[in-house]
A and B are shown apart, each in its own frame.
Chain A
């Protein structure tokens, strides 16, 4: 069974750094792109970017380029999303999801349960 399990909720202060994780199981983690999707409170889904765990190739949405850093550790089947200096506007639910497609980004077939990040002074 394909599963993506994300790390737990976080409460941080503005300016702090943070890394959240997404661990895959039930499939060959290195052979599928992993995407990150933001959902701000009461709002819709926003695609942030994707990473290929096999070689850590990354592609960022223009809206999130430079705002976050994606990484992966293929040896422990985990992908990460990192902020170096959080802002209150980073408060949101963040989902990881398995992407189908590579040269064309087709669809996300499995999703993690989400990680709620709250940034407040």
Chain B
């Protein structure tokens, strides 16, 4: 199963909003409401930011929001802060006991 498609990079200035897309197929993103998003700072383990398309785990700031339309999921970071600079990965259940990640997006806070 192919990786989900994310833009390699995204950027925004402090206080601005930025949206990262994650495009799959009808067999993964489009077929299930099991899209999740992870934040990874350099040298650190990934951290769950969003699960089941738009739900935020306890402790994740509400500046992070997400949605899905058809085969494309999106993560929006509002009110950008320096600490949001990291790599972001989407993931989706792919059916048939399979899980697939996106290629990752490097978010730069200008």
Q: Does A27 contact B (CB under 8 A)?
A: no
Which residue of A has the minimal Cβ distance to B34?
Answer: A106
User: Which residues of chain A are within 8 angstroms of B51 by Cβ–Cβ distance?
Assistant: 100, 106-107, 109
In the complex, the answer to whether A104 meets B34 with C-beta atoms within 8 Å is yes
A-B pairs with beta carbons under 8 A, tally: 68
Q: Does A73 contact B (CB under 8 A)?
A: no
Interface centre among A62, A106, A113, A114 (most CB of B within 10 A): A106
Q: Does B69 contact A (CB under 8 A)?
A: no
Known: A105-B99, A109-B57, A114-B45. A45 touches B52 (CB 8 A): no
Which residue of B has the minimal Cβ distance to A35?
Answer: B99
Interface centre among A101, A107, A113 (most CB of B within 10 A): A107
User: Which residues of chain B are within 8 angstroms of A110 by Cβ–Cβ distance?
Assistant: 48
Q: Does A80 contact B (CB under 8 A)?
A: no
Chain A interface, DSSP helix/strand/loop, else mixed: strand
Chain B interface, DSSP helix/strand/loop, else mixed: strand
The size of the chain A interface, using a CB distance under 8 A, is 24
In the complex, the answer to whether B89 meets A44 with C-beta atoms within 8 Å is yes
In the complex, the answer to whether B34 meets A47 with C-beta atoms within 8 Å is no
Known: A62-B1, A104-B34, A106-B34. A47 touches B100 (CB 8 A): yes
Q: Which residues of B contact A (CB under 8 A)?
A: 1, 3, 32, 34, 36, 38, 40, 45-48, 51-52, 57, 89, 91, 93, 97-104
Q: Which residues of A contact B (CB under 8 A)?
A: 35, 37, 44-47, 59, 61-62, 95, 97, 100-101, 104-114
